[in-house]
Amino acid sequence: MAKINKTLESYLDCIKATLQAYMCFQNFASQSVERHNKPEVEAAQHPELLLKPIVISRTEEESVMIEGSINSLRMSVRIRKSDELDKILANRFLRFLSQRAEEFVILRRKPIEGYDISFLVTNFHTEDMFKHKLVDFIIQFLNDIDSEISAMKTSLNGRARVVATEFLMQFRS
């Protein structure tokens, strides 16, 4: 899979290896509730089922937290936002994605506190889909998200400039 962004490469390589290590699931029925099957990383009831969480930071603002368990993993992403406009765009765009979490299958509806978006992958997902493809999807997402947001920012600035010029044209003497 061609990585376009060279500066991100080692960061994404680290995340990829870590994800591959965490993504070893087996079906595990809930120990606390009869006939229930919950992602244990979400239930967080029994320490023997949970793996140690890991935070991989590229900078102080840009990081990824991966928490794992016997049947699921949760990956939360904090994205680089260099100014106020980036913050608003990232917030809007990622909320848009999160609200359509059912379509995305491995997205979590709400990001974890302190992060912008969260993925939740369970054993049922790895039973239906290829593990290496799931990892590739997440890495591709991380690769593309920065360029998506800068593209949105450029188009927004362009539109704003056109609107402002048109508006102020009427005040030209």
Partner 1 sequence: MARNYAAETDDRERALNNALNSRNFGGVIEAVSANPPFGCDDDALKRRNLDNVVRTLVAFKESDIASALKGCPPEYLDVLMKYIYAGLEDGQNSSTLLKWHKLAVEESGGLGPIVRTIATHDSVL
Residues that bind partner 1 (CB under 8 A): 10-11, 13-14, 17-18, 20-22, 24, 51-52, 54-63, 68
Q: Least CB distance from residue 70 to partner 1, whole Å?
A: 11
Residue 122's nearest CA partner among 52, 50, 46, 27 is 27
Residue 73's nearest CA partner among 86, 63, 82, 64 is 64
Nearer to partner 1 by C-beta: 9 or 148? 9
Q: Least CB distance from residue 55 to partner 1, whole Å?
A: 5
For tokens 């376009």, the residue is: 4
Residue 30's nearest CA partner among 134, 126, 123, 102 is 123
Nearer to partner 1 by C-beta: 21 or 162? 21
Q: Least CB distance from residue 135 to partner 1, whole Å?
A: 12
Nearer to partner 1 by C-beta: 114 or 167? 114
Distance between CA atoms of 156 and 23, rounded to whole angstroms?
A: 38
Nearer to partner 1 by C-beta: 59 or 173? 59
State which amino acid sits at residue 142: L
Q: Least CB distance from residue 101 to partner 1, whole Å?
A: 25
Q: Least CB distance from residue 155 to partner 1, whole Å?
A: 30
On whether the CB atoms of residues 62 and 79 are closer than 8 A, the answer is yes
Separation in Å, CA 78 to CA 7, 26, 58, 63, 125: 17, 28, 10, 5, 23
Nearer to partner 1 by C-beta: 10 or 99? 10
